[in-house]
Amino acid sequence: MTRRPRQAPPEPDAISEAEAAAELARLAAEIAHHDRAYHQRDAPEITDAAYDALRARNAAIEARFPALVRPDSPSHRVGAAPEGGFAKLRHAQPMLSLDNVFDPEGFAEFAARVRRFLGLAAGAPLRLVGEPKIDGLSINLTYEHGKFTRGATRGDGAEGEDVTANLRTIKSVPQRLRGPAPALIEIRGEVFMTKADFLALNAAQEKAGERLFANPRNAAAGSLRQLDPRITASRPLSLFAYAIGEASEAPATTHSGYLDRLRAWGFAVNPLSRLLADEAEAAAFQAGMAAGRAGLDYDIDGVVYKIDDLALQQRLGFVGRAPRWATAWKFPAEQATTVLRAIRLQVGRTGALTPVAELEPVNVGGVLVSRASLHNEDEIARKDVRIGDTVLIQRAGDVIPQVVAVVTERPRGTENFVFPDHCPVCGSLALRPPGEVVRRCTGGLICPAQVVERLIHFASRPAFDIDGMGDKTVAEFHAAGWLSGPADIFRLAAREAEIAAREGWGALSARNLVRAIEARRTIPLDRFIYALGIRRIGERNARLLARHYARFPDWRAQMLAATTVGSEAREALGSILGIGPAIAEELADFFCEPRNVETLDELAALLDIVPAARGAEADSAVAGKTVVFTGTLETMTRPEAKARAEALGANVTESVSKKTDFVVVGADPGSKARKAQELGLRVLTEAEWRALAQMT
Ligand code: IVH
């Protein structure tokens, strides 16, 4: 900011009204300038004290002349100004993802699972809606009394970015719903760019010397996430609506009914969507879509199939973050051939050595691929892959590309790839236990590769979810010697100034990182367990453990006790439904290593670990209780009963013990019912259970 030399400014209490007006205008501009320098450019020009003095002066003058307070007064902005990003918006109902299938067998399994869950006969009709799976980005639009009030990206599923102003510029987003509308409704759909619009946009970008987009999906995402809505307005974006989230009144009883309502309200619904009578019709639909795919003017990567009957959808519910009532049947992988230049070994979080092919970069279905997975030692041998070979690679969905096969006669002189028996990172012995395909580094916590991978996992979204603590940051801080274990993450606050001084950082990003870390000192037990990165303890198993043991100290004590083979704690652990003896052994192994327990205790001292089963669940009469189902249930299937019980915070186990709270007995009960009687446990009929679990 250039400034002419000025006389010392008059004191606020000696200032005239005319001077005050001019001074408030000057202060507004000067403070806005420093806000930008600090928050957007990350390059403050004055000390915090000098900045505070400017704000204090502004406030003092405003206090004397309230009539002169400007619409753009700095005092209207509290503390930190918008940090150059979007505000967060919480979805009234979470936005979920979909499970994928890739072939007729996968789809048949989906249908069979649905029937099993609902207790339907194998051939019973299953009405589905098939919709092209648009390759764009999903958004959530909120309408109040028919008026579009706000819209957000999917984000992490619970909250997304507020892109309302940008969505208002898209023609196919109705500002008002046509005809009668509920008081409140969320509409979900996909924002995308047509192939033709994408090509034209890239041509224009190139002419203007701007960066090019890799594919229509990236172009749509980049265009919607613009801070200046005028840029979004200049980009040709479209929307197909395909679902309803929260609604103050039910708009229909079937999914196809939903789609009709969406059309009537003025949304574009994909015209290729079809109501299908059964799987045979679905398979025919899939084949038709795969054949027609290339001729469409927008990218699709598969077909989404949804159970049409919303009452059935309701019963089926969700598992993890995906509905049981829908699946995405992806198109076959896109393939290409290229030359394999080298084989590199990656060391994972659990020490697994994974061979990765370094490739001559090649375009596979619109994505430039330069690496592909070779899975493991045996696969390399089976496919006889050698350096210098021309190989067939493929991309299936979002997973890492894979080497499928060697495709050409190889040049002479290529040698077999010899898999090393030492870790390429730390040099420790790499062992392959008999019967396993994976060779693992035995370096454990002394292997830097494992430490870094474990820390990345620890901070990742489903674990501690620390914003800004991704793989690059973890590797950087590890290399700096600041992170040798997860507890060190919570000691980074003391290094804020050092972080800020690093290249590529700065005061704002350092502060944001420290804030993000502090925000995660309180952590639910299931996320905590998952974050530890114990083999085979994924999100689902971590949830099962957290539900079962509820409190961190109880879990810790029981796991230590379970290290003794044959102990009661070990038996109990192995009999949690979904855990089993093999996983119990994995947990016991983890707790046998004193360094792991030390790390755990170090973390526990720094964190507030929240017990499992809270909120609505905790209110349920069955929350935290251990339940066994036995005999034939009549009004629901086993999986349905189990899912419902778990959703209410109960633990479902297979075997009856004195720790069991309820034994629900269906028709033809066997030994479990007898044992329950002997132990004097509370035995419930199916009807009594339904009442207790509030299954109406
Ligand atoms: S339904 C719970 N329908 O696919 C149901 N999703 O893999 C969730 N998508 O995040 C979505 N076309 O971005 C649905 N016709 C369609 C879709 C569709 C594309 C995307 C959407 C979602 C992702 C899940």
Kindly state whether residue 588 falls inside one of the protein's structural domains. Answer: yes
Task: Answer yes or no: is the C-beta of 440 below 6 A from any ligand 1 atom.
Answer: no
Name the pLDDT band for 81 (thresholds 50, 70, 90). very low
Closest CA to 253 of 320, 307, 330: 307
Closest ligand 1 atom, residue 97 Cα? 24
CB 550 within 8 A of CB 525: yes
State yes or no: pLDDT of 48 exceeds 70: no
> What pLDDT, on the 0 to 100 scale, is given for residue 146?
95
Query: How large is the average pLDDT for residues 30-46?
Result: 70
pLDDT at 619: 61
133 and 227 co-located in one domain: yes
> How many C-beta neighbours within 10 Å does residue 103 have?
12
Q: Is the CB of 323 under 6 A from ligand 1?
A: yes
If one compares 213 and 358, the residue with the highest pLDDT of the two is 358
Confidence of residue 130 (pLDDT cuts 50, 70, 90): very high
| Ligand 1 atom closest to residue 132's alpha carbon, by position in its atom list | 15
The whole-number pLDDT of residue 580 equals 84
Claim to verify: residue 103 and residue 241 sit in the same structural domain: yes
Are residues 286 and 392 both part of a single domain?
no
Does the pLDDT at position 626 exceed 70? yes
Q: Is 256 in the pocket of ligand 1 (CB under 6 A)?
A: no
552 shares a domain with 586: yes
- Which pLDDT value is given to residue 79? 37
Q: What six digits make up the tokens of 29?
A: 């501009």
Q: Region 82-90: what's the mean pLDDT?
A: 71
Residue 570 CA to residue 568 CA, distance in Å, equals: 5
Res 408 pLDDT > 70: yes
Number of C-beta neighbours around residue 273 at 10 A: 19
Number of Cβ atoms within 10 Å of the Cβ of 130: 22
Q: Give the residue from 532, 496, 502 showing the smallest Cα distance to 516.
A: 496
Residue 498 covered by a domain:
no
Q: Which ligand 1 atom minimizes the distance to the CA of 131?
A: 15
Q: What pLDDT does residue 111 have?
A: 96
Position 495 in a domain: no
Residue 696: the pLDDT is 62
Residue 54 in domain: no
Q: Rounded CA gap, 74 and 108, in Å?
A: 62
pLDDT at 6: 45
Q: Is 138 in the pocket of ligand 1 (CB under 6 A)?
A: yes
Rounded to the nearest 10°, the torsion over CA 508, 511, 517, 519 is -100
In this prediction, residues 5-22 reach a mean pLDDT of 77
Distance 98 CA to ligand 1 centre (A): 7
643 C-alpha to ligand 1 centroid (Å)? 23
Statement: residue 145 has pLDDT above 90 = yes
Q: Is 133 a catalytic residue?
A: yes
Look at residue 43 in the predicted model and tell me its pLDDT.
62
Q: Are residues 161 and 254 in the same domain?
A: yes
User: pTM for the full model?
Assistant: 0.54
Are 267 and 99 spatial neighbours (Cβ–Cβ below 8 Å)?
Answer: no
How many whole angstroms from 153 Cα to the centroid of ligand 1? 13
Is 303 close to ligand 1, i.e. is its CB under 6 Å away?
Answer: no
Locate the ligand 1 atom nearest the alpha carbon of residue 322 and give its number: 2
| Residue finishing a domain among 443, 465, 489 | 443
pLDDT at 273: 97
CATH of the domain at 399: 2.40.50.140
215 and 315 in a common domain:
yes
DSSP bridge pairs for 558: none
Give, for ligand 1, the residue of 190, 244, 272, 399 to mutate: max count of ligand atoms closer than 8 Å to Cβ.
190
CB of residue 190 inside a 6 A radius of ligand 1: yes
Phi and psi at 602, nearest 5°, equal -60, -45
Final residue belonging to a domain, choices 382, 414, 443: 443
Three-state DSSP class for 168? Answer: coil
Question: Tell me, what's the pLDDT at 157?
Answer: 87
CA-to-CA separations, 648 to 62, 355, 527, 614, 641, in angstroms, rounded: 55, 43, 18, 10, 11
pLDDT in tens, 260-283: 999 999 999 999 999 999 999 999
Has residue 268 been placed in a domain?
A: yes
Q: Identify the pLDDT of residue 577.
A: 72
pLDDT recorded at residue 192 = 96
For ligand 1, the distance from its centroid to the CA atom of residue 538, given in whole angstroms, is 24
Helix (H) or strand (E) holding 345: strand 334-347
% of the chain surpassing 70 pLDDT: 93
Return the sign of the alpha-carbon dihedral for residues 394, 366, 472, 321: negative
Last residue of a domain, one of 547, 581, 613: 613
Lowest mean pLDDT among 72-86, 234-248, 314-328: 72-86
CATH assignment of the domain containing 600: 1.10.150.20
From 129, 138, 258, the mutation candidate for ligand 1 (largest count of ligand atoms within 8 A of CB) is 138
Residue 397's pLDDT is: 46
Q: From ligand 1's centre to the CA of 303, what distance in Å?
A: 9
Q: Is the CB of 181 under 6 A from ligand 1?
A: no
Q: Is the CB of 140 under 6 A from ligand 1?
A: no
| Per-residue pLDDT, 348 | 85
* Domain-embedded: residue 553: yes
pLDDT 10s digits, 465-497: 999 999 889 999 999 999 989 999 999 999 999
Q: Identify the pLDDT of residue 77.
A: 59
Do both 594 and 639 map to the same domain? no
For residue 53, pLDDT over 90 is answered with: no
Q: What is the pLDDT of residue 178?
A: 95
> Of the residues 95, 96, 97, 244, which should be mutated to test ligand 1's pocket, given the most ligand atoms within 8 Å of the CB?
97
Q: Is residue 489 part of a domain?
A: no
Considering only 243-247, 364-368, 425-429, which range has the smallest mean pLDDT? 364-368
Q: Ligand 1 centre from 155 Cα, in Å?
A: 14
- Could you tell me if the CB of 131 is within 6 A of ligand 1? yes
Atom 18 of ligand 1, nearest CA residue: 133
Domain count, the chain: 4
| Average pLDDT value for residue range 97-125 | 93
User: For residue 75, is pLDDT > 80?
Assistant: no
Whether residues 28 and 43 fall in one domain:
yes
What pLDDT is stored for residue 1 in this prediction? 41
Q: Which of 88, 133, 472, 625 is catalytic?
A: 133
| 147: in domain | yes
pLDDT at 246 over 50: yes
Same domain assignment for residues 308 and 419: no
Question: Looking at residues 306-334, what average pLDDT do you find?
Answer: 91
Residues 307 and 203 occupy one common structural domain = yes
CA of 133 to the centre of ligand 1 (A): 7
**Domain span at 344:** 1-47+334-443
**328 CB under 6 A from ligand 1?**
yes
Query: Residue 78 has what pLDDT?
Result: 45
Residue 243, domain CATH = 3.30.470.30
CATH code at 659? 3.40.50.10190
List, as one string, the DSSP characters of 353-422. Answer: EEEEEEEEEEEETTEEEEEEE---HHHHHHHT--TT-EEEEEE-TTSPPEEEEE-SPPPTT--PPPPPSB
Residue 101 CA, ligand 1 centroid: distance in Å? 14
Under 8 Å between Cβ of 91 and 161: no
Same domain, 630 and 582: no
**Quick count: other Cβ atoms within 10 Å of Cβ 549?**
23
Q: What is the mean pLDDT of the chain?
A: 87
Segment 385-401 mean pLDDT: 79
Per-residue pLDDT for 640 more than 50? yes
Per-residue pLDDT band for 4 (boundaries 50, 70, 90) equals: very low
Q: In this structure, are 602 and 644 located in the same domain?
A: no
**Residue 34 pLDDT grade (very low, low, confident, very high; cuts 50, 70, 90):** confident
Tell me if 304 CB under 6 Å of ligand 1: yes
Residues 576, 577, 582, 583: is their CA dihedral positive or negative?
negative
Q: Give the ligand 1 atom nearest the CA of 243.
A: 1
Which residue has its alpha carbon closest to ligand 1 atom 23?
97
Instruction: Report CA(375)–ligand 1 centroid distance (Å).
Output: 29
Judged against a pLDDT cut of 60, whether residue 686 lies above it is answered with yes
